[in-house]
């Protein structure tokens, strides 16, 4: 009997592994995997995610947050207000209102004062009929090295909106502003550099990449390229953004080095940048 049970368990494990590898777990084991749901293109909710916190040179702290949009295709808009709030001190503390499908790693930070202590802030999101809230604080177990990875000294890419101009580095978004008039697109230029340190000895990829996405805005944004090429000599990349309607938009660029999205689990090293674009109606002076 014991051998029979072991054989059944082994077969189930093998079937489960096969399902993971082929992406068809639900088809192979319908109704037998508690807590596992099939993925959906749309109709699912968005959950806030706490990525950790780190101390700033001035003694304040940055709490890093992301999200999980459980849809494969649906982009969800949740305006600032009762359905998208960070409290106390909000509801608006720089969080996104436009949520791309799947996981958004280290999307933004909330800065809290030196004496924050054991207090908490809570990010609440309501979407597709479901409310999710996550309280976050300075629990020592969640301290991260977002600006310097401990083992090899890797640091995030340095980003600038003008060659030789002011720059930003790390999860706290570096920002600039611009104005365009419909139907003209916005031209988005970024210059970047990286220390090219990585854990993989055989890594031969680019020092860093730039990925653009919509962060806020009343309409649809279409990018010329979401991942524009980067000039190896200057670190310059450029793309365009076209808008479906006038209004205020935030466009987000993420500079990832070899550690990848979310630092590959090490919570370092990436940099966020945001362009706040005022889009005017055609004929507006």
Q: Which of 136-140, 179-183, 220-224, 254-258 shows the lowest mean pLDDT across its residues?
A: 254-258
Q: Indicate whether 133 and 171 sit together in one domain.
A: no
**DSSP per-residue letters across 85-123:** EEESS-S-SS--SEE-SEEEEEEEEEEE-TT-TT--EEE
- Asked whether residue 115 falls in the same domain as residue 199, the answer is no
CATH number of residue 81's parent domain: 2.60.40
Residue 47, CA distances (Å) to 68, 168, 214, 259 in order? 5, 28, 18, 24
Q: In whole angstroms, what is the distance from residue 79 CA to residue 102 CA?
A: 19
Q: For position 214, which CATH number holds?
A: 2.60.40.10
Q: Is residue 218 part of a domain?
A: yes
Residues 193 and 258 in one domain: yes
**The domain boundary residue, chosen from 86, 107, 142:** 142
Least-confidence region, from 24-28, 35-39, 243-247: 24-28
Please say if the pLDDT value at position 248 is more than 60: yes
Signed CA dihedral, 259, 260, 261, 264: sign only: negative
User: Do both 86 and 167 map to the same domain?
Assistant: no
Higher pLDDT, 153 or 117: 117
Q: Which domain holds residue 261?
A: 158-280
**Residue 252: closest CA among 196, 171, 185, 194:** 171
Domain count, the chain: 2
State which of 112, 142, 172 marks the end of a domain.
Answer: 142
Task: Supply the pLDDT for residue 40.
Answer: 84
Q: In the Cβ-directed half-sphere of 38, how many Cα atoms lie within 13 Å? A: 11
pLDDT in tens, 75-110: 999 999 999 999 999 899 999 999 999 999 999 999
Q: Could you tell me if residue 31 is inside a domain?
A: no
In a domain, 213, yes or no: yes
* In a shared domain, residues 212 and 138: no
In a domain, 34, yes or no: no
Chain-centre distance for alpha carbon 116: 25
Q: Are residues 186 and 104 in the same domain?
A: no
Tell me, yes or no, whether 261 and 186 share the same domain. Answer: yes
Question: Higher confidence at residue 212 or residue 23?
Answer: 212
Q: Using alpha carbons only, what angle is made at residue 239 by residues 177 and 147, rounded to the nearest 5 degrees?
A: 65
Is 138 domain-assigned? yes
Residue 8, domain member (yes or no): no
Same domain, 137 and 197: no
């Amino acid at each position: 009997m014991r051998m029979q049970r072991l054989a059944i368990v082994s077969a189930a494990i093998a079937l489960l592994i096969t399902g993971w590898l082929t992406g068809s777990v639900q088809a192979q084991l319908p109704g037998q995997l508690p807590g596992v749901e099939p993925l959906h293109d749309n109709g699912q909710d968005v959950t806030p995610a706490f990525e950790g916190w780190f101390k700033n040179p001035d003694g304040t702290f940055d709490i890093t947050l992301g999200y999980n949009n459980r849809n494969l295709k649906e982009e969800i808009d949740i305006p600032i207000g009762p359905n998208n709030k960070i409290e106390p001190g909000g509801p608006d503390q720089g969080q996104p209102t436009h949520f791309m499908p799947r996981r958004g790693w280290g999307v933004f930070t909330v800065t809290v004062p030196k004496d924050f202590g054991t207090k908490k802030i809570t990010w609440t999101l309501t979407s597709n009929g479901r409310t999710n809230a996550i309280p976050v604080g300075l629990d020592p177990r969640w301290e991260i090295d977002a600006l310097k990875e401990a083992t090899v000294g890797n640091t995030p890419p340095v980003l600038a909106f003008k060659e030789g101009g002011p720059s930003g580095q790390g999860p706290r978004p570096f920002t600039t502003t611009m104005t365009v008039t419909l139907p003209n697109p916005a031209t988005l230029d970024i210059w970047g550099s990286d220390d090219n340190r990585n854990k993989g000895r055989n890594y031969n990829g680019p020092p860093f990449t730039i990925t653009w996405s919509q962060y806020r805005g009343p309409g649809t944004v279409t990018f010329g390229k979401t991942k524009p090429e980067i000039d190896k000599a200057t670190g310059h990349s450029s793309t365009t953004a076209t808008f479906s309607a006038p209004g205020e938009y935030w466009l987000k660029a993420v500079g990832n080095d070899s550690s990848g999205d979310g630092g590959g689990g090490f919570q370092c090293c990436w940099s966020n940048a945001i362009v706040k674009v005022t889009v005017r109606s055609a004929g507006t002076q």
